[in-house]
Amino acid sequence: MTVAIPVGGSILKGKWNTPDVIGVLRPLSGDLIKFSPQIISAEIKIDPNQPVTAFGQAVSYRLFSHKSYLVLPDSTSDDDQGRIAALCGVFGLGLVLFSLNPENPDFRMVTRAISANPDMIYVNQMAKRLNEVDSKAFDRLF
């Protein structure tokens, strides 16, 4: 990502509309081949017992994101990790596991997100809400 901001809570009006992190990948001035900006979202859970809720939220962010990531603690049960990893593959989500140790979270990519075109109606709804709530964050991203 070129820039990322923490969002979280439900500032974009609803837990299915507000990822914990929104980022944008934009071409840099030195890039020879320019491309359209891409929105990337991440849902982060610290509770290892919430992988299904987190998965549902991360899938919903695909409506307004080119890529969506699910970030879960590595203390999530092996059975849940396996099922979530398989579902992430089916739905094109990225999966990242991390240690709950704040000194060394040791983030590990399990599955990379697959890029897809979001629905521009939802992209603009998200952008409008973000601009209304935090215009400085909106300006940093877009």
30 occurs within a structural domain: no
Q: What is the pLDDT of residue 17?
A: 77
Q: What is the mean pLDDT of each run of 10 residues along the chain (142 residues)?
A: 84 76 94 94 95 95 97 96 96 97 95 96 93 92 92
- What domain count does the chain have? 1
* pLDDT at residue 132, rounded to an integer: 92
Please tell me the predicted confidence (pLDDT) of residue 107: 96
Domain annotation covers residue 16: yes
Return the number of other C-beta atoms located less than 10 Å from residue 27's C-beta. Answer: 13
- DSSP label at 59? H
Predicted local confidence at residue 16, as pLDDT: 73
CATH number at residue 49: 3.40.1350
Q: Containing domain of residue 129, as a range?
A: 3-25+35-134
Instruction: Report yes or no on 142 lying in a domain.
Output: no
Report DSSP letters for 86-109, one per residue: HHHHHHT-EEEEE-S-TT----EE
Name the β-bridge partners of 21.
6, 42
Classify residue 140: in a domain, yes or no. no
Domain-located, residue 84? yes
How high is the pLDDT of residue 8? 74
139, part of any domain: no
CA distance 42 to 70: 6
Does some domain include residue 64?
yes
